[in-house]
Amino acid sequence: MIDLVWLVPFFPLVGFLTILIGGRKLGEPKAGHFATTMVLLSFAAAVGIFFDLLSREAADRSEIVTLFSWVPVGDLKIDMAFLVDPLSSTMLLFVTGIGSLIHLYSVGYMHGDPKFSKFFLYLNLFVLSMTLLVLGSNLLVTFLGWEGVGTCSYFLISFWHTKDANASAGKKAFVTNRIGDFGVMLAMFLAFGAVGSIDYAVINESALAGTLTQATATGIAALLFLGAVGKSAQLPLYVWLPDAMAGPTPVSALIHAATMVTAGVFLMVRINPVLGAAADWVPTLIAYTGAITALFAATIALAQNDIKKVLAYSTVSQLGYMFLAVGTGAYVAAIFHMVTHAFFKALLFLGSGSVIHGMHDEQDMRKMGKLFKLMPITASTFIIGWLAIAGVPPFAGFWSKDEILLFALAESPILYVIGIVTAILTAFYMTRQVVMTFFGEQKWGSLANAEEAAHLESAADVGAADADADGNDAAAVADQPAPVETHGAHGEFKPHESPPTMLIPLVVLAGLSMVGGIIQLPSIGIIPKGAQHKLLDWLHPIVEFGEGPEERGIGEAIIKGTWAYDNKMILIAIAVACALIGIAGAFAVYQKKMAKPIEPKLFADGWNYDNMISWFMGNPGRKGFDGVADFDTKVVDGAVNGVATLVRETSNQVRKAQTGYVRQYAGVIGIGVVLLLGWFVVIRGIL
Amino acid sequence: MIAAIEPSWYLILAAMLFSIGAVGLLIRRNPLVMFMCIELMLNAANLTFVALAIKLGDINGQTAVFFVMVVAAAEVVVGLSIIVSILRRKPGATADDLAELKG
């Protein structure tokens, strides 16, 4: 079965090519069904590979399948080869699995879009690139996929490119990612220069054997981390991800939450022996980057009103957790959180898409509320996702977040405190979102009865931050029963539940978010021994090298014997308490109105980070660019033009010798002959 | 008694002819005259060849004269036709009037 691994990228490739050629003819919904089938087949192949690997001994679970020699140039030999091991198998399963669910969802979500088939073209191309990224046995194949997913991300963010904002959001993502990609390329060059190969197997082995010098390992790890920062939207390059929400919601779910943005984490885990061989500051940098990003993005999420923006910042924050895990050596926890996050964040995004769909393209949570009764399935699944991300046991997110916090505490209490504060904030903003969307007060303008109108009016009187606009609306509504004109887009309509193709993925993902934690249960008393650390056992050959504390630094960090490890129950209690505090706090503020919501403008503006970049680029940056442009026009162009002017001036002088008088030419020739003769006779002494 | 004509006399005569030709070429402006000056120089060279061929008893010098005469004939054909066409375009033109290609 492993030899057939090429089937995994092959099916999306077939889908991509078929829709490329005959997409318009297939039309809606056939193109969608076809694309979905292709990804499902790919998922089936991934499952087959998984079971094949599972049936082998742990030591034999890594195999390289070479398709063909790709770049044979002198010493540089790069094969189009796939590395099949537990890590890539895990990634494949959730990429193709969630991918097919989201394809199915998109059939419903993209209904009626004029570019229906093109959407699935891009989605299939994305799955193809993502599987290449995951399967690559060397950095170049991974890079091919890495660029491929970046391109698809760009296409899909600006899918509705007729709107300026969408087009520039796509550009922003592309340009920001380029900074990271440059790091990946440099890392490749460095690896080839130092090891003579860019195969993961060779690089990792030389790191384990100690033949890779610490300086080189540091360089490779730091440069790849730069790539990961770009792709996985960490500080300071996170700016593109919130804007990427301009794309259709299934794209946000698939690319900008579940799969592509986790590529950076995957890459870090893939080269974890190099991280171990690198100087200590690299893992520390990764851990702190992750932790600070997690906290930073969580604070921004507190004050967002766009239903997707909250989730976008939440994604940045959760990715921060994953990097925190990578930096503290908790590679299994990073992958674990990646998988559970893929479940619940895809669920939340798809749920928000369902809400947006039902609310007729309304994304502002201030105009929602009380949707639970009208969208029961969307709401219940969303609530499951909320509990999972907030860290309420026994939902999936609880287990993975808890494991990361455990490793964080074993590494440093500062990281732990940042992590736990972020956990509180996460619970808080997610509760805020659930309350504002599904509970609380009805803010949308269906005015079937006077009671609701009165309710609206009282809501206006209570007067939140946005009292002005809504208050006026509500007052106008109370006077006139049918105020379609004054209400514009959100006039008289009733939010509706979404079609079954959209609900099935929600239900499946909700199920996964509930039970996803079983793949890596912690080793605490009440859990049977056989059920603990399944994921660790599975990933063991990739993340654990050798035994004993002297091996610390290479592979999975060993935290046995630390205070954190011995007091896991206390940590779990703290984590649960924090989740509950966050939930209760948000519930009190937004549902019970016990306190005025504190949503500083600073948070709503994302700490003005975007504005600062604009300012920087507008002022000192602008001057810098102008300086460079001046240098170009004056020095570079000056040199070129100067040479031209010099030639012109010289020839202007020299051409005066061409008088056009034959006599003069004859005279000069005569003089020349005499001089030549003189030279031969007098100087050379001939004759 | 008439003294035998020394070959050096021929050489002196040739040098004089050549100088007349060269000076004529440089100072005259009439294209036809300049053309004749060139012929004069060519024939001065021919005279040198012949004189030295006799003095050195080498037939090669006389052979070279035939080549020069053939080349001169060819030159006359080309040169004269150019001069004729120039004079047709600009009657009475001098060599200095033909300076349109100057830099």
pLDDT over 70, % of chain A: 92
Angstrom distance (rounded) from CA A509 to CA B41: 107
Domain count along chain A: 4
pLDDT of residue A41: 94
Mean per-residue pLDDT, A414-435 = 92
Mean per-residue pLDDT, A110-139 = 90
pLDDT of residue A268: 92
Angstrom distance (rounded) from CA A605 to CA A239: 12
**ipTM value of the model?**
0.80
Pair (A486, A349) in one structural domain: no
Q: Which residue has the higher pLDDT, A609 or B66?
A: B66
Mean per-residue pLDDT, A90-117 = 89
The model's pLDDT over A570-597, given as tens digits with 9 standing for 90+, comes to 888 998 999 999 999 888 888 888 777 7
| Closest residue of chain A to B96, computed from CA coordinates | A661
pLDDT of residue A470: 42
Pair (A396, A481) in one structural domain: no
Mean per-residue pLDDT, B65-71 = 93
| Closest residue of chain A to B34, computed from CA coordinates | A663
> How close, in Å, is residue B29 to chain A by CA atoms?
8
C-alpha closest to that of A300 among A603, A568, A15, A21: A603
Phi–psi pair at A619, nearest 5 degrees: -105, -85
Q: Is residue B87 part of a domain?
A: yes
The pLDDT confidence band at residue B1, using thresholds 50, 70 and 90, is low
AA identity, residue A541: P
pLDDT of residue A534: 83
- pLDDT of A412 strictly over 80: yes
Residue that is written with structure tokens 């010289």 in the block: A650
> How close, in Å, is residue B3 to chain A by CA atoms?
30
- pLDDT of A128 strictly over 90: yes
Pair (A296, A407) in one structural domain: yes
Q: Is residue B100 part of a domain?
A: no
Closest partner residue to A658 among B27, B29, B102, by Cβ? B102
Pair (A508, A520) in one structural domain: yes
The model's pLDDT over A346-376, given as tens digits with 9 standing for 90+, comes to 999 999 998 888 888 788 888 887 788 888 8
Angstrom distance (rounded) from CA A575 to CA A18: 49
Residue A528 sits at the chain B interface (C-beta within 8 Å)? no
Q: Is residue A305 part of a domain?
A: yes
Which tokens hold the place of A338?
């990646």
Pair (A455, A584) in one structural domain: no
- pLDDT of A552 strictly over 50: no
Pair (A482, A392) in one structural domain: no
Pair (A544, A591) in one structural domain: yes
DSSP codes of every residue in A632-664: IIIIIHHHHHHHHHHHHHHHHHHGGG----HHH
Closest partner residue to A659 among B22, B34, B102, by Cβ? B102
pLDDT of residue A672: 94
- pLDDT of A226 strictly over 80: yes
Q: Is residue B96 part of a domain?
A: no
Mean per-residue pLDDT, A606-622 = 83
Q: Is residue A92 part of a domain?
A: yes
**DSSP state, residue A674:** H
Q: Is residue B32 part of a domain?
A: yes
Angstrom distance (rounded) from CA A485 to CA A489: 9
The model's pLDDT over A446-487, given as tens digits with 9 standing for 90+, comes to 544 444 444 554 544 444 434 444 444 444 444 444 433 333
Pair (A560, A461) in one structural domain: no
Q: State which of A81, A103, A137 marks the end of a domain.
A: A137
- pLDDT of A56 strictly over 80: yes
Domain count along chain B: 1
Which residues span the domain enclosing B86?
A: 7-91
Could you give the angle at the alpha carbon of A339 between the alpha carbons of A337 and A343, nearest 5°? 110
Contacts of A667 in chain B (CB under 8 A): 26
Angstrom distance (rounded) from CA A598 to CA A434: 17
Q: Is residue B39 part of a domain?
A: yes
Q: Of A229-233, A548-552, B38-42, B88-92, where does mean pLDDT reach its minimum?
A: A548-552
The model's pLDDT over A637-674, given as tens digits with 9 standing for 90+, comes to 999 999 999 999 999 998 888 887 888 888 899 899 99
Contacts of A659 in chain B (CB under 8 A): 99, 102-103
The mean of the pLDDT values for chain A is 84
Angstrom distance (rounded) from CA A606 to CA A295: 12
User: Peptide bond before A273: cis, by omega within 30 degrees of 0?
Assistant: no
Residue B80 sits in a domain whose CATH number is: 1.10.287.3510
- pLDDT of A609 strictly over 90: no
pLDDT of residue A469: 41
Angstrom distance (rounded) from CA A461 to CA B5: 141
Helix residue ranges, H only, A199-330: 200-209, 214-231, 240-243, 249-253, 263-270, 272-277, 281-301, 307-327
pLDDT of residue A12: 92
pLDDT of residue A553: 57
Helix residue ranges, H only, B2-92: 7-27, 31-56, 59-89
Pair (A440, A478) in one structural domain: no
Pair (A463, A597) in one structural domain: no
Angstrom distance (rounded) from CA B61 to CA B55: 10
Which residues span the domain enclosing A490?
A: 450-494
Mean per-residue pLDDT, A218-240 = 90
Could you give the angle at the alpha carbon of A604 between the alpha carbons of A600 and A606, nearest 5°? 115
Which tokens hold the place of A627?
């300086």
Closest partner residue to A667 among B26, B96, B101, by Cβ? B26
With CB atoms and an 8 Å threshold, state whether A663 touches B27: yes
